[in-house]
Amino acid sequence: MVYLEAAIILLVIAQIGFQLFLYRSHVRVTQEAVGFLDQHLAEVIQTTLERIPEAVGAIEPVNPLAQMFMAHLQNKMDPAIQVKEVSRSDEGKFSSENA
């Protein structure tokens, strides 16, 4: 019975060692993949930033009439807020201006 228990303990220890080996290999592969991805993302961002002036230069300037029309629309959409103070009577009720 003692030999059987010792064999089981050795098998459990071997299994733990094997799991640690697999864990380390997965960590190494993941680190390599992240490094590869980081390098390629940096290249893509760099080439994109280099091409931005070409794309921005192709945009034509804004028409002055359209710019004036948009300013007029913005003023109409956001009118100035007028604050009006409402007084209360001695009883605590709101009083009208005519009273």
Residue 37 lies in a domain: yes
DSSP bridge pairs for 3: none
Number of domains, the chain:
1
Residue 67 belongs to domain spanning: 2-77
- The verdict on residue 30 lying in a domain is yes
* Cβ atoms 88, 94 nearer than 8 A: yes
- Provide the sign of the torsion angle of the four alpha carbons 68, 74, 75, 76, taken in this order: positive
**Structural element, H or E, at residue 63:** none
> Is residue 98 in a domain?
no
In a domain, 86, yes or no: no
pLDDT confidence of residue 77:
82
Evaluate whether 86 touches 94 at the Cβ level (below 8 Å). Answer: yes
What are residue 88's DSSP bridge partners? 94
pLDDT of residue 58: 67
Q: Where are the alpha helices (DSSP H) in 58-88?
A: 64-77
Q: Which pLDDT tens digit goes with each residue over 50-80?
A: 887 776 666 777 899 999 999 988 888 877 7
Band of residue 9 on the pLDDT scale cut at 50, 70, 90: very high
The closest of 19, 24, 22 to 11, measured between CA atoms, is 19
Instruction: Name which of 25, 3, 26, 1 is nearest 11 in CA terms.
Output: 3
